[in-house]
Amino acid sequence: MDIARRVSSAELTDLFLSLAALVIAFSILGERRLPGIEAIIITALGVSTGFLLHELAHKFVAMHFGYWAEYRANRMGLVLVIVMAFVGFIFAAPGAVMISRTSAPQNFYSLDPLGQEKLAAEEKKEELLISLAGPLTNIILAIVFFLMLMSGDAAGSLWQNAASFALFINLTLAAFNLLPFGPLDGKKIYDSNRVVWALVGVPTILAALPVYLGMI
């Protein structure tokens, strides 16, 4: 089954609306420092990698384990992110991948206690990997853009600014989602395996902290 067949028309619409809203919002902020077309190009690269690949990573890992998984936009959140951009601040809650089992295992109710314990352990491992998929995608992308900047491959002010913004949005998005609170990926990772959360979450959050504090 190819990727196109795994994305429904409703999901594709929600992804497009979310991507468009985020590009518009960040472009509004960027236009204060850059010409309009440059702000759009820079924002499109950062948002399409930071947001889109993050959500698709959750989706396809979940589907690999046999779950139904589709992205759903938060329409009110999309309006809010654009309104907040005019104020000069963005706190984006564009939507999330909805995940559920299409059906319970056929022999679920007949499992003995040991079988149920094994099934619960497998589901916990699956939740860990599904939750890790999004932030890990952002971390890998942040490293790629960092290496591009260090190597000089992103030559020219436009592509250098685009790579810098993509690095910024991927790093901050990874760190934010790894916070062990509420509905964030970090809480699910922390609950599933605290060692994994410490190995992935702590260094990522520490790396992004100077950005959050405006030090760099």
Residues assigned a catalytic role: 55
Task: List, as own/partner pairs, every contact residues 175-183 make where C-beta atoms lie below 8 angstroms and the sequence separation is at least 24, other chains included.
Answer: 175/204, 175/205, 175/207, 175/208, 175/209, 175/212, 176/208, 177/54, 177/134, 177/135, 177/138, 178/135, 178/204, 178/205, 179/205, 183/96
Burial class (CB in 10 A: 0-12, 13-18, 19+), 28: buried
| Rounded Cα gap, residues 196 and 133, in angstroms | 13
